[in-house]
Amino acid sequence: MSLNQFPHSSPRGQTGIRLAVFLTALTLGWVGVGGQTNYQQLMVFGSPRLPGVGGTTPLVWASPGVLYGTTALGSNTSMGACLFSVRSDGSEQRALSYYSANYGLSAGLVLGLQGAIYGMNGDYIFKLDGNGYADLFKMSTLSFGLTCSLIQGKDGTLFGSAGGGGAKDMGTVFRLNPDGTGFQVMHDFSGGLSDGKSTTSGLILGADGMLYGDTVWGGTHDAGTVYRIKTDGSSYEVLHHFDGPNGWYYKAALMQGSDGMLYGTTFAGGTQGQAGVVFKLNTNGSGFSVIHGFPTVANQPVNPSSLIQGPDGALYGTTQYGGITNPASTYGMGTVFKLNTDGSGYTVLYQFSGEDGRNPKSSLLAGADGALYGATQFGGFFDQGTVFKLSPSPSGTGVFIDYYASAGGFNIILSAGPAQTWSLQFSATPGMAGSWQTVEIVRTDTFGLARFTNLSGKGCYRAIKQ
């Protein structure tokens, strides 16, 4: 029997809690359309231990094996939204900072060149590093409004876009020094037939050193645009005007593939039923083509998010709706899909079912271990979202993904393989021989989850696979 033991950080007000997992190799997964895909839940939102509602922005790697992310809202008014970290095996979950319940974290995070984390909290751009949290800059009415994810250039300059604000309140593209000085509006969106307006996604830095982005509205058909601009604010150019049949209502960030082309998705539009498309185009705006349309057909994936490219060259993404339905989600609970860059090989890799999460809104994140990581807005034990992992092979680990005290005792949620039997044990003095006592025998459900409550409360817990 193999051994995997790790400490978990104690929740606030619950010191002295230690968790250990003893296990053999696990078989996590299910057989999907594209073959074997191994799902594991790493974290649940909405817990009394780690409040927060919904993961709506992409996860980022803060360091090898450590993920950072944000919740969209707070689960209570006293704490607000949360910036959190979690290891890629589900251990050592930490709430790094809490934010105003009125604003929350309005944009995703970016890992800076020196290891600092940058992001948006309400109308502030912030920095989090070894010295702690600091507000760098307060957005003004000329630049603020639905601010999107930041990116950092090779010289350290931060770039971002805003869905509102500017001279015509149609959004801006801006830049800022990493110390919070030198704020500059690089472009004011003007809408109309020649320019876009409003954006809900961030910029990307192309291989040619130019910034690329998109707008929700504006352009020839008022259906959104793709644009580019130099990092000094010059040479702004609209590359493509969406028209409905080739997509509209752009909500996701672009991606540049290994072939140099730009890839993206629209939340709606297309000729298959107005449920969104995957497209590509050259960086000069030529060669636009829709490589996949999402049909409005019962249970089919619809409304895609941003894409990433895997080491195999394929595109991976999530859809917010489609897939399995239930009374709480009649439009479907969302999927993970795979697609080749020429439009062939479209495959649904995973369909969310609720307890494992539902309605993912952000892009996936690739890991060096070959796994895909992501977050969902809803679902999980508290129906407030999850952090999950999809692996090409079984992870061989299991974790306690949540633990908290309640009036009924001390509660723990175990994430392991589906339909497995585990002996859950407790010790108040784990260093003493014979101190471990079995408190419950549980069997994980189809999602690989098991829950138990122990009246003994604080101490050391372990789970042994039977």
Residue ranges per structural domain of the chain? 1-28+394-466, 30-393
What pLDDT, on the 0 to 100 scale, is given for residue 6? Answer: 28
H/E stretch holding 340:
none
**Facing residues of 4 across strands?**
21
**Mean pLDDT of all residues belonging to the chain:** 80
Is the pLDDT reported for residue 219 higher than 60?
Answer: yes
pLDDT tens, residue by residue, 20-45: 433 322 222 222 333 347 888 898 88
Six-digit token string for 154: 């090779």
pLDDT tens, residue by residue, 108-142: 788 888 888 888 776 788 888 888 888 888 876 55
What pLDDT, on the 0 to 100 scale, is given for residue 173? Answer: 92
Compute the average pLDDT of residues 178-194. 92
Is the pLDDT reported for residue 236 higher than 80?
Answer: yes
What pLDDT, on the 0 to 100 scale, is given for residue 213? Answer: 93
Compute the average pLDDT of residues 339-355. 93
pTM, 2 dp = 0.85
Compute the average pLDDT of residues 4-12. 30
What pLDDT, on the 0 to 100 scale, is given for residue 18? Answer: 39
Class for the domain spanning 1-28+394-466: mainly beta
Asked if residue 335 lies in contact with residue 319, where contact means CB atoms within 8 angstroms, the answer is yes
pLDDT tens, residue by residue, 276-306: 889 999 999 999 999 998 887 666 767 788 8
Q: How far apart are CA 415 and CA 400, in angstroms?
A: 6
Is the pLDDT reported for residue 102 higher than 80?
Answer: no
Question: CB pairs under 8 A, 24+ apart, for 225-230?
Answer: 225/195, 225/196, 225/250, 226/250, 226/254, 226/262, 226/264, 226/281, 226/285, 227/196, 228/283, 229/173, 229/186, 229/187
Looking at per-residue confidence, does 317 or 444 come out higher?
A: 317
Six-digit token string for 248: 């509209």
| b/e map 333-363, b = 16+ CB within 10 Å | bbbbbbbebebeebebbbbbbbbbbbbbbbb
Class for the domain spanning 30-393: mainly beta
Asked if residue 42 lies in contact with residue 28, where contact means CB atoms within 8 angstroms, the answer is no
Q: How far apart are CA 362 and CA 107, in angstroms?
A: 11
Looking at per-residue confidence, does 166 or 287 come out higher?
A: 287
Report the first-to-last Cα separation within the chain, whole angstroms. Answer: 11
What pLDDT, on the 0 to 100 scale, is given for residue 281? Answer: 95
pLDDT tens, residue by residue, 246-278: 876 767 789 999 999 999 998 877 776 667 889
What pLDDT, on the 0 to 100 scale, is given for residue 4? Answer: 30
Distances 276 to 6, 241, 286, 297 between C-alpha atoms, Å: 43, 15, 21, 12
Q: Is the dihedral of CA 137, 139, 142, 147 positive or negative?
A: positive
What pLDDT, on the 0 to 100 scale, is given for residue 207? Answer: 96
Q: How far apart are CA 316 and CA 296, in angstroms?
A: 20
What pLDDT, on the 0 to 100 scale, is given for residue 405? Answer: 80
Is the pLDDT reported for residue 372 higher than 80?
Answer: yes
